Structure 1
Amino acid sequence: MSEAIQNSKPKRESDSGDSSSVAKKLKIDQSQNPEVDSSGSEANSDAREMGFEIEAEVAEDKGLRHAMEDAWVLLLDASLGFQGNLRCAHFAIYDGHGGRLAAEYAQKHLHSNVLSAGLPRELLNVKAAKKAILDGFRKTDEAILQESAAGGWQDGATAVCVWILGKTVFVANIGDAKAVVARSSPVDALQNGSDEARLLKAIVLTREHKAIYAQERARIQKAGGSVSSNGRLQGRLEVSRAFGDRQFKKFGVVATPDIHSFDLTEREHFIILGCDGLWGVIGPSDAVDFVQKQLKEGLPVTAISRSLVREAVRERRCKDNCTAIIILFRHK
């Protein structure tokens, strides 16, 4: 079995306490992994193989909320005993609402459901990987709905998830949690200058699913639901896609994720995953600049993730639960 780092029993933060965090490293030798073309099939390429090391760190703070309803997963070796030669890492944040039961269930079961649905473990196939992620989300939501009906609870949870298979990154999300990648320009990538000299651009990798947005509103209305003047489904739920939320499923709430994939190059430096509590007070560009500045100062990822969450809660007055994961790529 692989080493798993999960907050099944998260630390609670006092209003004056530091955020909890944990850091691990994973080295990946890309020469063992095939190149893939845009169709998702194995292909030969003259591109230079790239090696990199992943460092991952998570920090959390309950903010002014009475309880922490976020849950997270940090798996640097995400094989979970499944056989295969393709190296895999997995990271996720689940932001619960109405309770943390849906978030906890997804934390414990989504990745294993994705693996069981056929996440590639030998040669990478992008289409197969996306289908496995889609099927894993569906299976997890169906199980949460059954569990909630049997247990008489109605919790929901948004999600932002990352899988790294070989050198290919897959990002899947439902709701308003986001993933942002820090990417340098092609000119910077061709130069031999230090990371400190590079200007990093914040690229949002996810799409928000809120009831007020036209595409989401249309689906809700087609299902017989309504969006009130405050932008909430049935006047209550702001997000339009989530795990659970049993009472809102008949009004168009779904757990179908948007899935995006790209190959890691020397232009990608780090990814920030965050719940809406983080992004509600820090914009993507500000977050990337904040992390890059502290990397320039030589701070470890452990300290940077704590500092980012502290900035959101203490300095920018985030009142919500706040969780952030920083995935750092150190290129050889």
Structure 2
Amino acid sequence: MNEKTFRRFLELFLREMSPPLQDSDPLPSRPLTDLVCEDEVEGECLDLCLQHLYKYNCPCSLAAALARATSDSILQSDLTIHHLIKSVEDGIEAVKLARLIFKRLFETCGAWTKELPYRRRPQPYYETSIHAIKNMRRKMEDRHIIIPDFNTLFNIQDQEEQAFFAVFDGHGGVDAAIYAANHLHVNLARQDSLSQDPGEALRRAFKITDEHFVKKASRENLRCGTTGVVTFLRGRTLHVAWLGDSQVILVRRGEVVELMKPHKPDREDEKQRIEALGGCVIWFGTWRVNGSLSVSRAIGDSEHKPYICGDADHAAFPLDGSEDYLLLACDGFWDTVSPDEAVRVVSDHLQENAGDTAMVAHKLVASARDAGSSDNITVIAVFLRDPRTPPQLSQLAGGRVLFVCLFPMLA
């Protein structure tokens, strides 16, 4: 996408947003928390900016640049006037912070229409299809995030191009999933080890996100947790990190490549770990930790720690250009659709639609629902080569394809 495309978006966006947000105007979208700690400002700012820009179909690379610029402006501001004093500790009032964020975003867009400081670098992007539904559950407790331009979002200059995709499946409430979706990637970018050891950085990011959410849950009397699976692409290497039973598979030349083993209480090593800590794994409709949770690792769930631990596993896989796509999904999908069946659904859809990936995730979600899933269902398909191009041609091109950003939001 060229500068003309970006300028055209900015002009249309400002026209839709005009006039600038006044103090009496309703917010374009409300924050999902009441108080924000100082350490959480960056994640909240990036999330509000990205979600709002995506609603207007902002090109993903431009959205990342605008979110970064807006976040930097907020972080450099004196936020004292936005503090809401509580009896225990100071916090930043989320609604007032959100109003400031949207004002700064509008100002940034206005300034960029006059002089566009952002120049998109040539980089590998990925066609991505997303779909998420509440299904038959009373509430939607899944959250997902895609960051195809990780380097721009975090102003990283000295690394190969990087991309981040994640699914979080909350239980006992949505707060932990929201927190993880808003902050885990921020905690990852803050790790000094990211440049040399992405696996260690991912593990630390999960651990820190868990520790910070446990503190938040204690302050706000929250009793919930979330599983999570993250794929982090750096150049020709795929990194996977996970807690719990959300999963990702890799498909190479139409065949499933297993990347991970979910954390469930009936896994022998997990059962031994829990029992060594003094806990137990018992059958109660399914295998559960202390008769309660059916996952053995998660962010949050402070009342179940240390049996439900926040230690993520990690694996790394070299990519050679023959890979087709990644499928990330929560257990609401994998409990009713096997990896082989998922591959068949994708293959059939691509054949029937001349390689068009737009509705792949919708088709996968529908297949899980039709197979009897009553749970929340979230699916992200990340194509690592153009499905309209034969694999051998894709390999010659290094497996890199132009990114197409598709955002069917929560149904």
TM-score range, shorter chain: 0.7 to 0.9
* 3-state secondary structure, aligned to 1:94: strand
* Cα deviation, residue 249, structure 1: 0.4
Equivalences for 1:153-168 in 2 at 5 Å? 153-168=222-237
- Contact 1:8 1:71 survives alignment (8 Å): no
* 3-state secondary structure, aligned to 2:305: helix
Which residue matches 1:326? 381
Which residue matches 1:62? 134
Structure 2: how far apart are the matches of 1:261 and 1:9?
Answer: 29
In the alignment of these two chains, the number of paired residues is 275
Structure 2: how far apart are the matches of 1:161 and 1:76?
Answer: 13
For CA contacts below 8 A with separation 6 or more, give which structure has more relative contact order: 1
* 3-state secondary structure, aligned to 2:379: strand
- Contact 1:24 1:76 survives alignment (8 Å): no
Structure 2 gaps of 5+ residues are 1-41, 62-122, 386-393, 398-411
Which residue matches 1:246? 302
- Contact 2:328 2:380 survives alignment (8 Å): yes
Q: Structure 1's 118 and 131: CA in aligned 2 closer, same or farther, altered over 3 A?
A: same
Equivalences for 1:34-45 in 2 at 5 Å? none
Which residue matches 2:319? 264
* Cα deviation, residue 54, structure 1: 1.3
Query: Pick from 100, 115, 138: which aligns with 2:174?
Result: 100
Q: Structure 1's 143 and 130: CA in aligned 2 closer, same or farther, altered over 3 A?
A: same
- Contact 2:227 2:297 survives alignment (8 Å): yes
Which residue matches 2:144? 72
User: Structure 2: which amino acid aligns with 1:62?
Assistant: K
* Cα deviation, residue 58, structure 1: 1.2
User: Structure 2: which amino acid aligns with 1:222?
Assistant: A
* Cα deviation, residue 143, structure 1: 0.2
Equivalences for 1:193-272 in 2 at 5 Å? 200-230=254-284, 231-250=287-306, 252-272=307-327
- Contact 2:130 2:381 survives alignment (8 Å): yes
Query: Pick from 156, 159, 173: which aligns with 1:83?
Result: 156
Deviation string, structure 1 residues 88-107 (Cα, Å, up to 9, x no partner): 10000000000010000000
Pick the structure with more strand per residue: 1
Structure 1: how far apart are the matches of 2:143 and 2:49?
Answer: 6
- Contact 1:24 1:55 survives alignment (8 Å): no
The Cα RMSD (Å) is: 2.6
Q: Structure 1's 159 and 6: CA in aligned 2 closer, same or farther, altered over 3 A?
A: farther
Structure 1 gaps of 5+ residues are 11-19, 27-50, 185-199
- Contact 1:183 1:267 survives alignment (8 Å): yes
* Cα deviation, residue 299, structure 1: 4.6
Query: Pick from 333, 338, 357: which aligns with 1:301?
Result: 357
Q: Structure 1's 61 and 8: CA in aligned 2 closer, same or farther, altered over 3 A?
A: farther
Deviation string, structure 1 residues 112-166 (Cα, Å, up to 9, x no partner): 1011013545xxx4xx111111111111000010000111111100001000011
User: Structure 2: which amino acid aligns with 1:178?
Assistant: Q
Q: Structure 1's 260 and 151: CA in aligned 2 closer, same or farther, altered over 3 A?
A: same
64-73 vs 304-313, greater mean Cα deviation: 304-313
Structure 2: how far apart are the matches of 1:244 and 1:95?
Answer: 12
* 3-state secondary structure, aligned to 1:261: strand
* 3-state secondary structure, aligned to 1:179: strand
User: Structure 1: which amino acid aligns with 2:192?
Assistant: G
